[in-house]
């Protein structure tokens, strides 16, 4: 059977499953170059349809991963062009508050309609949606359906609309190691902002019956919404910069963060019967937070918001353990990107294992839709290097290299060994890596990465000046070889973390060796614990560095220009290399390209 999964929303994507295995997944942002593209993923679908057509396959079912789309977000994709100031007006006086007060937003919507910055090609004719039919689900769904039929070259036999959180849950389930799932009962939790009316669901996977059973759903779990609003109140972009709030949280003083938590956050939500619900949730959440956080310092606000998410989520897991005696957990949805929360949950005494799917935000729903359709016929997600290839035709690598780098600006060297790259890293050089198919998700995992020697703290400043311009408090990540990681990281529960989904403490004696890949303040890491089988060429490169230095790890950050999506094809890689101060680019484990800097 061939399934096409489609996510139409923030993080638009399309995935293709053939006989239970995800063979391809494309993110619209990588193709359109609009970060977190919000809308219909036309070009990602084109890539999946082409993949099926090349193999002379028909698509048995194409499924959208949400039944009732966020009409506002689709018609007005404000995330494409809103500044922080626009967002503050939106939540403050122009839209969110007015809706709560049941005041008209007609004029504001008119203004949005005429906003010239709203110029991205959204593929679908949302002009057909007006005040009289705005809430008509059928119109929205038919726009999507008709477009899909039009672009699918007659390959699709059937089209369905699936439940958002069921897609999330199936994605989480099929990204767990099958050996683990066969032996244990799992609680699967989905935590997000909102999708098909829910923002938290709890499921039990009964390993004996091989069945995923839904226990409850909540529409009142506002962990994501509160965190989003705090992000904005700290003058960062909501739905994008939440990770910066998380990175800021460790700088807070525990006493001050506790104090703010108690005064402002504690009573917003509670957990009852394994479900997150409202407690004394203020009617206008944004105005409440804005007013009550006014007098506190930014780092302590971040610490308090983090504490809030950790307290509520650990209470939820605690109740599930008490009632069902389940010790194994899988988490997905946007909230699961919070690696600091995941770390804390993994440390709870009763938790034997916690599994966090790669990029559990809505981007992964296209895969979730496929897993939902295939159910027990699904094969677990292992390889996530499933996106665009570096070159359209891999056989013509040398002609691409000549086309892009065959001029005076560059020096090209062929047949470069990983040992040579290891030597450059040891000397403190920073290397851009581009190899084969791009990795799915928010994290660079070695195929579109920038790497450096993690024992040299000076590289942090160098990388920031060359390309990244990261906020001063933010850490870089680390890739570490699986068989060596326990000598460096505290992982007594033997947790799997192949996709940078969880934080870990570093053994005190080893901090110095990987300092540039640690959080600058609390010295934790967000690792990609790399198995040879997942990415052999990247593994071999790190091994070469290890042989020279005794350090089985490299600092790893994504290959992109500040504020842009991760580089996808060779054209993007060329653009990033050309428009940054990066000096070295290592392509397909063969070519080393150096900028001809005088
Ligand atoms: Fe979601």
**Any alpha helices (H) in 406-508, and if so which ranges?**
418-426, 458-463
Are 467 and 582 within 8 A, CB to CB?
yes
Decide which of 108, 131, 165 is a domain's last residue.
165
How far is the centre of ligand 1, averaged over its atoms, from the C-alpha of 65 (Å)?
9
69, pLDDT greater than 90: no
Residues 337 and 406 in one domain: no
Ligand 1 centroid to 410 CA: how many Å?
Answer: 44
Query: What interhelical angle do 365-374 and 164-173 show, nearest 10?
Result: 80
Assess if residue 112 is contained within a domain.
Answer: no
Residue 94 pLDDT > 90: yes
Exposure string (b/e) for 122-139, b if CB count within 10 Å is 16 or more? bbbebeebeeeeeeeeee
Whether 109 maps to a domain, the answer reads no
Closest to 41 (Cα-Cα) out of 50, 31, 51 = 31
* Residue 474, helix vs strand vs coil: coil
CA of 165 to the centre of ligand 1 (A): 7
Query: Does residue 60 carry a pLDDT above 80?
Result: yes
Ligand 1 centroid, distance to 15 Cα (angstroms): 16
The CA–CA distances, whole Å, from 316 to 181, 309, 355, 360 equal 21, 11, 16, 19
Q: Is residue 97 part of a domain?
A: no
CB 120 within 8 A of CB 77: yes
How does pLDDT run across 115-126, given as a tens digit for each residue? 999 888 889 988
pTM over 0.75: yes
Residue 261 CA to ligand 1 centre (angstroms):
26
Q: Evaluate whether 343 touches 489 at the Cβ level (below 8 Å).
A: no
CATH number, domain with residue 8:
3.30.420
Average confidence (pLDDT) over 264-280: 98
Number of structural domains (the chain) is: 3
Q: Is the pLDDT of residue 131 over 80?
A: no
The whole-chain average pLDDT of the chain stands at 95
Of 127, 142, 165, which residue sits at a domain end? 165
Residue 42 predicted with pLDDT over 80: yes
Q: What is the pLDDT of residue 598?
A: 64
- Of 322, 341, 323, 321, residue with least CA distance to 331: 341
* Residue 99 clears pLDDT 70, i.e. is over it: yes
With respect to residue 153, please indicate whether it lies within any of the assigned structural domains.
Answer: yes
Chain segment 424-476, per-residue pLDDT in tens: 999 999 999 999 999 999 999 999 999 999 999 999 999 999 998 888 999 99
Q: Are residues 401 and 504 both part of a single domain? A: yes
The answer to whether position 94 is within a domain reads: no
Residue 393 has pLDDT above 90, yes or no: no
- Select from 4, 371, 356 the least CA-distant residue to 166: 371
Query: What's the pLDDT band for 395 if we cut at 50, 70, 90?
Result: confident
Residue 506 has pLDDT above 80, yes or no: yes
Instruction: Kindly state the average pLDDT of the residues 44-53.
Output: 97
Q: How far is the CA of 550 from the centre of ligand 1 (A)?
A: 42
**What distance in angstroms lies between residue 524's CA and the mean position of ligand 1's atoms?**
28
497 Cβ contact list (under 8 Å, min separation 6): 356, 491, 504, 527, 528, 529
DSSP per residue, 296-308: S-HHHHHHHHHHH
**What is the pairing mode between strands 448-452 and 527-530?**
unpaired
CA–centroid distance, residue 29 to ligand 1 (Å):
17
Distance between CA atoms of 44 and 526, rounded to whole angstroms? 29
Q: For residue 144, how far is its CA from the centre of ligand 1 (angstroms)?
A: 19
User: Could you report the per-residue pLDDT of 535-584, keeping only the tens digit for each?
Assistant: 999 999 999 999 999 999 999 999 999 889 999 999 999 999 999 999 99
Which residue pairs from 99-108 have beta carbons closer than 8 angstroms and sit at least 24 positions apart in sequence?
A: 100/283, 100/284, 106/131
Q: What CA–CA distance (Å, rounded) separates 196 from 67?
A: 6
Residue 308 and residue 405 share a domain: no
Question: CATH number, domain at 227?
Answer: 3.30.420.40
| CA of residue 3 relative to chain centroid, distance | 23
Task: For residue 194, report the distance from its CA to the centre of ligand 1, in Å.
Answer: 6
Q: What is the CATH number of the domain that holds 576?
A: 3.90.870.20
Q: Are 281 and 400 found together in one domain?
A: no
Average of per-residue pLDDT across 223-245:
97
64: left (phi over 0), alpha (psi -120 to 50) or beta: beta
Any domain includes 19: yes
If asked whether residues 180 and 286 sit together in one domain, one would say: yes
Q: How far is the CA of 365 from the centre of ligand 1 (A)?
A: 8
Rounded to the nearest whole angstrom, what is the distance from the C-alpha of residue 333 to the centroid of ligand 1? 5
Residue 476: partners with Cβ closer than 8 Å, 6 or more residues away? 460, 463, 470, 516, 517, 555, 556, 557
Q: Which domain holds residue 277?
A: 176-356
The reply to whether 306 and 436 lie within a common domain is no
Instruction: Tell me if 417 is assigned to some domain.
Output: yes
Sheet holding 328-332, edge to edge: 211-218, 198-206, 186-195, 328-332, 353-356
Same-domain status, 549 and 503: yes
- Identify the domain boundary among 329, 356, 383: 356
DSSP for 337-385, written as a single string: G-HHHHHHHHHSTT-SEEEE-TT-SGGGHHHHHHHHHHGGG--------
Q: How far is the CA of 168 from the centre of ligand 1 (A)?
A: 7
Residue 7 CA, ligand 1 centroid: distance in Å: 10
Residues 408 and 526 in one domain: yes
Does 130 have pLDDT greater than 80? no
In the chain, the percentage of residues whose pLDDT exceeds 90 is 89
- Examine the domain organization and report whether 430 and 317 are in the same domain: no
Tell me the two tokens of residue 81. Answer: 């062009």
Residue 297 is assigned to a structural domain of this protein = yes
What 3-state class would DSSP assign to 466? helix
Distance 244 CA to ligand 1 centre (A): 20
Does the structure show a pLDDT above 90 at 133? Answer: no
- The Å distance, Cα 70 to ligand 1 centre, comes to 11
Alpha-carbon span 238 to 79, nearest angstrom:
8
Q: Are residues 495 and 564 in the same domain?
A: yes
Whether residue 350 sits in one domain with residue 283: yes
Distance CA 446, CA 479 (A): 8
Calculate how far, in angstroms, residue 72's C-alpha sits from the geometric centre of ligand 1.
Answer: 16
Same domain, 180 and 161: no
pLDDT tens digits along 313-361: 999 999 999 999 999 999 999 999 999 999 999 999 999 999 999 999 9
- Phi first, then psi, for residue 130 (nearest 5°) are -135, -175
Kindly give the distance from the C-alpha atom of residue 215 to the centroid of ligand 1, in angstroms, as a whole number: 18
């Amino acid at each position: 059977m061939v399934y096409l999964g489609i996510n139409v929303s923030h993080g638009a994507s399309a995935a293709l499953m053939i006989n239970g295995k995800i063979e391809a997944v494309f993110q619209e942002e990588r193709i359109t170059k609009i970060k977190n593209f919000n809308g219909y993923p036309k070009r990602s679908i084109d890539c999946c349809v082409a993949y099926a057509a090349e193999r002379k396959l028909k698509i048995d079912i194409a499924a959208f991963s949400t039944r009732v789309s966020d009409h506002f977000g689709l018609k007005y994709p404000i995330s494409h062009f809103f500044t922080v100031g626009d967002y503050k007006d939106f939540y403050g006086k122009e839209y969110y508050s007015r809706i709560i007060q049941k005041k008209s937003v007609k004029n504001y919507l008119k203004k949005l309609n005429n906003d010239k910055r709203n110029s991205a090609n959204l593929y679908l004719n949302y002009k057909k949606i007006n005040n009289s039919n705005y809430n008509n689900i059928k119109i929205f769904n038919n726009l999507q359906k008709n477009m899909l039929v039009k672009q699918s070259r007659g390959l699709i036999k059937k089209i369905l609309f699936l439940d958002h959180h069921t897609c999330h849950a199936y994605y989480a389930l099929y990204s767990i190691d099958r050996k683990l799932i066969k032996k244990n009962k799992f609680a699967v939790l989905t935590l997000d902002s909102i999708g098909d009316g829910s923002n938290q669901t709890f499921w039990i996977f009964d390993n004996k019956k091989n069945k995923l059973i839904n226990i409850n759903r909540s529409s009142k779990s506002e962990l994501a919404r509160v965190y989003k609003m705090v992000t904005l109140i700290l003058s960062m972009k909501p739905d994008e910069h939440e990770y910066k709030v998380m990175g800021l949280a460790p700088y807070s003083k525990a006493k001050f963060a506790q104090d703010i938590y108690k005064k402002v956050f504690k009573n917003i939500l509670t957990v009852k019967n394994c479900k997150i619900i409202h407690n004394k949730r203020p009617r206008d959440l944004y105005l409440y937070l804005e007013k009550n956080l006014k007098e506190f310092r930014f780092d302590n606000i971040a610490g308090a918001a983090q504490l809030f998410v950790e307290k509520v989520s650990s209470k939820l897991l605690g109740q599930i353990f008490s009632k069902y005696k389940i010790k194994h957990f899988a988490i997905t949805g946007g909230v699961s990107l919070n690696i600091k929360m995941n770390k804390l949950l993994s440390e709870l005494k009763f938790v034997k294992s916690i599994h966090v799917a790669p990029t559990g935000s809505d981007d992964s729903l296209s895969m979730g839709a496929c897993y939902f359709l295939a159910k027990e016929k699904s094969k677990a997600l292992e390889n996530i290097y499933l996106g665009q290839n570096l070159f359209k035709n891999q056989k013509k690598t040398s002609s691409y290299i000549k086309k892009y780098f065959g001029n005076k600006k560059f020096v090209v060297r062929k047949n470069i060994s990983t040992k040579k790259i290891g030597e450059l890293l040891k000397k403190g050089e920073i290397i851009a890596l581009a190899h084969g198919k791009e990795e799915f998700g928010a994290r660079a995992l070695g195929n579109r990465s920038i790497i450096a020697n993690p024992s040299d703290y000076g590289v942090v400043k160098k990388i920031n000046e060359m390309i990244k311009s990261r906020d001063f408090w933010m850490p870089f990540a680390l890739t570490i070889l699986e068989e060596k990681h326990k000598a460096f990281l505290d992982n007594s529960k033997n947790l799997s973390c192949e996709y940078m989904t969880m934080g870990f403490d570093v053994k005190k004696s080893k901090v110095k060796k990987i300092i540039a890949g640690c959080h600058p303040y609390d010295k934790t890491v967000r690792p990609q614990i790399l198995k040879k089988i997942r990415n052999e060429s990247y593994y071999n490169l790190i091994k070469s560095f290890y042989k020279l230095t005794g350090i089985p790890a490299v600092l790893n950050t994504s290959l992109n220009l500040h504020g842009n999506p991760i580089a996808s094809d060779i054209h993007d890689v060329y653009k990033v290399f050309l428009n940054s101060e990066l000096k070295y680019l290592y392509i397909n484990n063969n070519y080393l390209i150096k900028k001809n800097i005088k």
